[in-house]
Structure 1
Amino acid sequence: MIAFDFEYCKPSSAAEAVETFNMFREQGKNAMYFSGGTEIITFARVNKLRADAVIDIKGIPECNVLKLHGNQLVIGAAVSLNKITDSKLFPLLGQTVKKIADHTSRNKITIGGNMKSELIYKESVLPLLLVDAKVKIANGSEEEIVSLDAVFNKEIKLNSGNVLLQIIIDTSYIDLPYVSLKRTKISKVGYPVVSVAAIVKDNRIRVAFSGVCDYPFRSSEIETIVNDSSLPVYERVEKVLAHLPSKIVDDIQASRKYRSFVLKNVLLDTLSELEMVT
């Protein structure tokens, strides 16, 4: 049960959504955008989140698109994880999001919601970082397309009131050799101890991580190490662990020592598989 009242709006356009957000802000009310709603509901029930108004973006046509358009794959922010997997349009993304939560939850969890999650994992971001994805953002009555890198630094950072509408991926990336590996504490469903996505592009391995540090990341320094064929694979893996961007997470899912052990094995598996196609 959610222990507070809030206003609910479902605009039919991006401009209307931003206008509605700004209206609430001018009234001194705390408004937030809503797509799948699973996280809002979960946190609101335990009093970790409170809002005066929620603005449902599922009524915005652009947010529900999932299609190939010329040389681009366009994914609306309100498209569910299951729909992405079932479409088979981008196998790496499909396999990665298939491991997030259980099947029923993935009918509601949207890619935009997962990308902007309050949790540290945001696993759907991993393939998008690897393929130089772009995002379409509504800013008032205007829309702009920018690289994901321009708005993602540990998390997606948009100006207040802006709406994430779409993710755009060049189709030259979608059929590249890939690996998607996730290790959890007990079952196949759960928060990752380690989650890794990797592809081979121009004979080089690109790799992104979740669960290792307290934010998802891709590192050019780590990719230089991973692709240094002058070193044995095991030495490269040890070197990667010495060049992580921050401390390895130590929490209820896994100790720092155990996470390090799991990460080593996942990296060994990843390099073993992908070096056969480089």
Structure 2
Amino acid sequence: MISYDFDYYKPTTYQEAVHIYQQAEANGQEPLYYAGGTEIISMARLMQLRTGAVIDIKAVPECNVLHIYGEQLVIGAAITLTTLSESPIFPLLADTARRIADHTNRNKITVGGNLCGKFIYREALLPFLLADSQVVLMGPNGIRHVSVHQVLNGQPQLAKGELVLQILTDKRVIDLPYFTVKKTKMEKIDYPIVRISALRTKEGIRIAFSGVSAVPFRSRMIEDILNEVSLPLEERIERIIRIWPFPILNDILSSAAYRTFVLRNTIIETVAALEGGVDNHGWNSQM
């Protein structure tokens, strides 16, 4: 149960949603956009979040699209993880979404909520980073299309009042060979201590990470080292660990030393799968 009152709005257009946000913000209500609501409800119940206005975007048509238009796959921000996990349209995204939470929660969690949420893992982001996707944002200054790397790689960098409408992905990328693996400490459905998603392209392996540090990310510097095939793989991995761009987490799930050990082994597993020409697949395992 949430112990405080707030106003609830369910606009039917994105223009209306942004207008409501601006009004609520002007009234000091600290409004929030809402789709699945799992994170907002959980944090509000624990008194870790307080808002005077919730703006439900599930009735906005542009937020409910899952279709290929021309050369682009368009995914609306209100599409649930269950819908993504059951769709064959982007296999890497489907396998990634399938391992984020249990089925009940996947029915509620939306892709927009996962990408922009406060929980540090944001695992659904990884395939979009690998695909160099574009994000369609609507805010007080209108619509803008920006690279996912610009606004979501690492900490989210959305402007105040901006709403994620859609994620656009080049359809030529979505069927590339891939590998995704989630390492958890105890349970099959748990927060990751290491989560890797990777694509094999003609230029080399693209790789993105969650669970290792306090933000999910993709690093071109790490990819350059990983694809330096003249070096032994063990040496490449040691170089990657040395230039790791964020502190490795040391928390209740795992020590930093154990995470580093698992990270090394999981990179080896990923490279073996993709350099060995294994067909598209993904894994979920406990350590």
Matched residue, 2:47: 47
Q: Secondary structure at the match of 1:234?
A: helix
Mark the runs of 5 or more structure 1 residues left unpaired by the alignment.
none
Is residue 2:257 matched to residue 1:257?
Answer: yes
CA distance, structure 2, for counterparts of residue 150 and residue 136 of structure 1:
12
Aligned CA-pair RMSD: 1.2
Letter in 2 for 1:113: G
Measure how far apart 1:276 and its partner are: 2.2
Matched residue, 1:197: 197
**How many residue pairs were aligned?**
278
Task: Between 45-54 and 154-163, report the one with greater CA deviation.
Answer: 154-163
Matched residue, 1:162: 162
Matches within 5 A, 1:11-160: 11-140=11-140, 142-160=142-160
Measure how far apart 1:153 and its partner are: 4.2
Mark the runs of 5 or more structure 2 residues left unpaired by the alignment.
279-287
Identity of aligned residues (%): 46
Measure how far apart 1:141 and its partner are: 7.0
- The answer to whether the Cα contact below 8 Å between 1:200 and 1:277 also exists between their aligned partners in 2 is no
Letter in 2 for 1:22: Q
Letter in 1 for 2:24: F
CA distance, structure 2, for counterparts of residue 134 and residue 63 of structure 1:
15
Letter in 2 for 1:44: A
- The answer to whether the Cα contact below 8 Å between 2:153 and 2:216 also exists between their aligned partners in 1 is no
Q: Secondary structure at the match of 2:276?
A: coil
- The answer to whether the Cα contact below 8 Å between 2:116 and 2:152 also exists between their aligned partners in 1 is no
CA distance, structure 2, for counterparts of residue 251 and residue 72 of structure 1:
40
Measure how far apart 1:97 and its partner are: 1.2
CA distance, structure 2, for counterparts of residue 250 and residue 88 of structure 1:
36
Task: Between 217-226 and 8-17, report the one with greater CA deviation.
Answer: 217-226
Structure-2-length-normalised TM-score: 0.94
| Alpha-carbon spacing, 1:246–1:141, altered in 2? closer, same or farther (3 Å) | closer
CA distance, structure 2, for counterparts of residue 153 and residue 219 of structure 1:
9
- The answer to whether the Cα contact below 8 Å between 1:96 and 1:180 also exists between their aligned partners in 2 is yes
Measure how far apart 1:140 and its partner are: 3.1
CA distance, structure 1, for counterparts of residue 141 and residue 206 of structure 2:
36
Measure how far apart 1:165 and its partner are: 0.3
Structure-1-length-normalised TM-score: 0.97
Deviation by residue 1:123-177 (Cα, 9 ceiling, x = unmatched): 1111111110001111237322121122124122211111100000000000001
Matched residue, 1:5: 5
- The answer to whether the Cα contact below 8 Å between 1:195 and 1:211 also exists between their aligned partners in 2 is yes
